[in-house]
Amino acid sequence: MVDVTIPEEFLDDDSEGSISPWFFAEGDLVQRGDLIAEVTNEKAASELIAPASGTLKIVISAEIPVRRGQLVARIAD
């Protein structure tokens, strides 16, 4: 299982963002390199890319506040 986290470069230390939207649903098969979501904050939108191939398990729903380094999904073989 591979963790999907918010990359450090997406957000400042003290800022929050949100996933808006997830482009795949819970249980969908994703391929490494797929655009799986956008992470937005007041300054920009960043693309969240699948780090591995497998079945997507969403941990944080869209529109819930997230911070850098936070676990938002897992990808299972």
What is the rounded average pLDDT of the residues 48-70?
A: 96
Q: What is the model's pLDDT at position 42?
A: 84
Cβ-contact 66, 18 below 8 angstroms = yes
d(C-alpha 31, C-alpha 46), whole Å: 19
Full-model pTM:
0.91
Q: What is the model's pLDDT at position 24?
A: 98
Q: What is the pLDDT of residues 9-45, one digit of tens each?
A: 888 777 899 998 999 999 999 999 999 999 998 888 9
The two structure tokens encoding residue 3: 């963790």
Phi, psi of 55 (to 5 degrees): -90, 130
